[in-house]
Structure 1
């Protein structure tokens, strides 16, 4: 996959959406910096106003970095390689590994492929299968045992945790269960 290009029209739409999203944040930052009400926050030295807009872009930049890291980790959890992540970002495999060091799981021991979940007074173990998919087995607070259906596999640990968590909630103290 190559770095995606956007059309001039798409760029104009993106610019507008970003400026629309930025304005309330810049206004809030400016108001906090000056102590002025939001409707007067822009009545100041133009340099100070421009710097408050720059401060808002800095916040947005940090959020974009955080969200892109989450997207890289999600892609890695589905099996994307650092080579693929780098290609999308327009950097080398090594650059992607440096940018998102934990995005792609490394082959490790079976112990590293097992996670424990404790919720609603019960516990569950999430296990990564050899094919990279996840399964779970657990014991509810009421002593009931449960596991992923035979042959059912989840594509991420989070998906397996959601299924296990639903089971544990169903078997929590005080939970009404159908007879």
Structure 2
């Protein structure tokens, strides 16, 4: 796989989409920072305070992009991609990919249709009646989840199951002493 380039037009469209997605998060961050002032009043502050609220929102987006990137790398690894391929897709060396996503390349699954990621397991299955795919999973934290049939293919089912397993890795999304909740 070669390096992926982005055109000027694609970059402009991406920026517009990202800014649109950031707006509600930035507003929530700003609301908390302003002590819950109304939407009209919370933006009436020193420009540096407003800019720092937006920067805080971008940090949250950055963390979520990193998490989703790890899910994508782990999904590719579960299909047999090696660190050399992951590195090529990301524009880094094989060693860099191994360091960035140390658990992305897994041993082959014990059986077809099985994923073992982030300490949890998922089963992928095709629904012959509808032609769609579904998944059932148990996260490392013990939470179970499933997707109804209708996913367009094995890859889509694996991506959704991988995201579920990442979200339910041991200790993710809960504080000490808090019991896991059903998805």
1:42 matched to which residue of 2?
A: 43
Q: CA 1:84 to 1:26, structure 2 compared with 1: closer, same or farther past 3 Å?
A: same
1:76 matched to which residue of 2?
A: 77
Q: CA 1:34 to 1:164, structure 2 compared with 1: closer, same or farther past 3 Å?
A: closer
Q: Which SS does the other structure have where 1:95 is aligned?
A: helix
Q: CA RMSD in A?
A: 2.2
Q: Distance in 2 between matches of 1:164 and 1:46?
A: 47
Q: Distance in 1 between matches of 2:2 and 2:49?
A: 40
2:9 matched to which residue of 1?
A: 9
Decide which structure has the larger Cα Rg and report it: 1
Q: Distance in 1 between matches of 2:11 and 2:67?
A: 22
Q: Distance in 2 between matches of 1:69 and 1:163?
A: 20
Shift of 1:154: 2.0
Which ranges of structure 2 fall in alignment gaps of 5 or more residues?
A: 117-121, 126-134, 139-183
Q: CA 1:29 to 1:92, structure 2 compared with 1: closer, same or farther past 3 Å?
A: same
Give the number of aligned pairs: 123
Q: Which SS does the other structure have where 2:60 is aligned?
A: helix
Residue in structure 2 matching 1:154, options 106, 113, 119 = 113
Q: Which SS does the other structure have where 1:159 is aligned?
A: strand
Q: Distance in 2 between matches of 1:73 and 1:164?
A: 16
* Map 1:1-179 → 2, pairs under 5 A: 1-35=1-35, 36-106=37-107, 128=110, 134=111, 153-154=112-113, 156-157=115-116, 158-160=122-124, 162=135
Q: TM-score, normalised by structure 1?
A: 0.63
Residue pair 1:30, 1:42 contacting (<8 A) in 2 also: yes
Which ranges of structure 1 fall in alignment gaps of 5 or more residues?
A: 108-112, 114-127, 129-133, 135-152, 166-179
Q: CA 1:48 to 1:95, structure 2 compared with 1: closer, same or farther past 3 Å?
A: same
Q: TM-score, normalised by structure 2?
A: 0.62
Residue pair 1:82, 1:104 contacting (<8 A) in 2 also: yes
Q: CA 1:97 to 1:69, structure 2 compared with 1: closer, same or farther past 3 Å?
A: same
